[in-house]
């Protein structure tokens, strides 16, 4: 569970789902090493974002785990990963990425300054909204669906990753 108290007590967490993330590796390299982000890796590879997330940055990635992707219907996910649907896949993945390195403590600070709400524009161009629910940071997508940050601040050489428990959507897919 992520909380304001937890964040103030921690400088950074290099672990997502008990898997060490090497801060000297890129977002792609750490995703390749992860046993719980195989679907995210396939999406990176299928959307032509692999080079961007390997070499450029800094970026903040809200990273859905395989479990988060499994909440989508298997037919929809299979269809999305087909090469002819690269445009929709790219739109979905870029909706999980913000330019710049934004730690969970920066998200909390922005929410405090924004009366409990912080809004971010993704590299896809649409906005996501961060709010608090109890002690959890919740992201709300363009359709009103929400995802909870379940692990925060996995440092990467080109940004930071936050694990989320659901896939967020820029539009209906």
- 88-140 tens-digit pLDDT: 999 999 999 999 999 999 999 999 999 999 999 999 999 999 999 999 999 99
- Residue-level pLDDT at 153: 95
Q: What is the DSSP pairing of strand 19-20 with strand 146-156?
A: unpaired
Residues in the chain: 173
- Residue-level pLDDT at 19: 54
Name all domains of the chain by residue range, CATH numbers in brackets: 4-164 (2.30.180.10)
Please report where in the chains the tokens 């859905």 appear, as a residue.
64
The long-range contacts involving 3-8, CB below 8 angstroms and separated by at least 24 positions, are: 3/135, 3/136, 4/108, 4/132, 4/135, 5/135, 6/135, 7/104, 7/105, 7/108, 7/152, 8/105
The mean of the pLDDT values for the chain is: 89
Partners of residue 138 on adjacent β-strands: 131, 148
Indicate if the pLDDT at residue 16 is higher than 70. Answer: no
Please report where in the chains the tokens 């539009």 appear, as a residue.
171
Indicate if the pLDDT at residue 172 is higher than 90. Answer: no
| 21 — pLDDT class (breaks 50, 70, 90) | confident
């Amino acid at each position: 569970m992520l909380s304001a108290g937890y964040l103030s007590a921690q400088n950074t967490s290099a672990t997502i789902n008990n898997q060490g993330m090497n801060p000297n590796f890129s977002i792609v390299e750490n995703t390749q090493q992860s046993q719980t982000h195989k679907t995210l890796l396939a999406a990176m590879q299928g959307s032509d974002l692999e080079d961007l997330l390997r070499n450029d940055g800094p970026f903040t990635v809200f990273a859905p785990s395989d479990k988060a992707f499994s909440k989508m219907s298997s037919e929809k996910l299979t269809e999305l990963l087909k090469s002819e649907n690269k445009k929709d896949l790219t739109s979905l993945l870029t909706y999980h990425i913000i330019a710049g390195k934004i730690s969970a403590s920066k998200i909390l600070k922005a929410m405090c300054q924004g009366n409990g709400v912080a809004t971010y524009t993704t590299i896809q161009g649409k906005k996501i909204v961060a709010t608090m629910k109890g002690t959890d940071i919740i992201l709300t997508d363009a359709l009103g669906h929400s995802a909870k940050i379940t692990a925060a601040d996995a440092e990467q050489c080109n940004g930071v990753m936050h694990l989320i428990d659901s896939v967020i959507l820029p539009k209906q897919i």
